[in-house]
Structure 1
């Protein structure tokens, strides 16, 4: 199996929790190291890898793939340098800060014949995979309404300065928003128009921390919400069709397990407790039924496996640059809608 030599552009929570553990267990990747600016931590976990002092040192090395997992406002600059250096790239969400930047990166990757994937790992959450399966099975009939939430209760500001300083990449719209938007688009495609309410609710916050986005489709309405003042959460996924409904709480265990330094695997990883199973209430063959739906297994490994196949076998990326462009189109439309207090056509 061809080894894809890979480097990270930071080894904070993103590199340590979401990327390195999966690169380490996938036989097709070789983790060479990470760019580390001040704290030198990666060799504590992976003694055999390198700590690069600069981005240039990364790009000058014999590396096939670079993961751009730095603050959002740096994504475009760093990803462009990576592509110009002839390396494949994975870029964290939000892909960029503007649609124009996203389009430029997509065009550059195509011109260079390189793979460019967006790290939308929440497509491989156990809860969303189950929602996806229920919709695919058409047990709800024609879908008329969906509502996705990414709610938390956390009135305190983040200790991460880049998340709380007013800049082009900060705020919940470009932090949690891309997860919700990407999930909605992967289920329903691009909407016709967008309406959004974006607010600041935490004391002393300088960045948006509440979003309510409505996506308009010809026959479906999709609402996406995220905020920090939800102490008692409602189901994170609510789907209503002409025959029935499906309700599912957010239950994916992967992030919590990764933060506890548990090692991912291909067998038992990403399995939710049965207490988090979703409720299906629908009508099938004239019989009304209410039942719990077993949750599918989640595994972010599948994203990295998709990237491996994309580079090795020239298949499409698991989340393409065009997918990233579409998410940025919704984000820009949401900002415009909030500023103008009106529906924005795409």
Structure 2
């Protein structure tokens, strides 16, 4: 028995191999919050964030294995409400626990998150052998930090593998011996497209847009609805009302992946059709297609050489994205039967069972 963990920047989930099947936990927000009584993780951390912003930590994965002066660290710090300072050249996160100021490394906070994922998926089974996935671009120091975080969570980390490789393994594409698979991962914060050489079992090319993700699709719908509310009622949505509108738009986006129309919350009552949503987001879909084209050109791979196309990341469920990719590859069928939200964790679990 073994487990696989998709340790994401925005959301994370865990799978466990039991018998002859993979069971996956629901994706949980990669949030850790500190309160007077201890720490809370995932959705519980998100739910209390508005009243405890200075002690609610998120996107901490980007600090792993980095120095404080790294550009990625410095640019991220400006958008966080919590404080990050340098200790011996490495970033540390400041939080307040019961009135006592404390400092935590990203590894320590990641261990809390990974421990929660483990307990939810396999804690009762006493299974601690795990494969953890990371983005392809992670450096050696970042991968070592992830492994250290897993060890801190009480896990025996069998290996750390790339997200795209795990997605391909989920469909057992690596057992086919040769060929290339394209993995399109539209996550919450970024979009990455990668080519996996199935014969070698590794990524041979990857390109990404690190400021284009699911949240941008959400924001398109939020902007449209804010305009509708203002034109109908003369109201500018701010504060708590805006937060509720964002939440309603996220739910409507999910509905529009399975239905042709959705109402943005009973409070707002704005009917949005799938066609309207696609019109709002068309420019971003074209950017995703441009990424695919750039990757194929830089890798000197023709579209006809791509044997399989794997969809990963929650927003890759958007029908418009899938349809345009099908058309780009001559109406080729996509590997999307496994929920793209959990396909990376699924593949990590399959690999963990193989190794064990």
TM-score range, shorter chain: 0.3 to 0.5
- The normalised TM-score by structure 1 is 0.33
Higher helix fraction: Structure 1 or Structure 2?
2
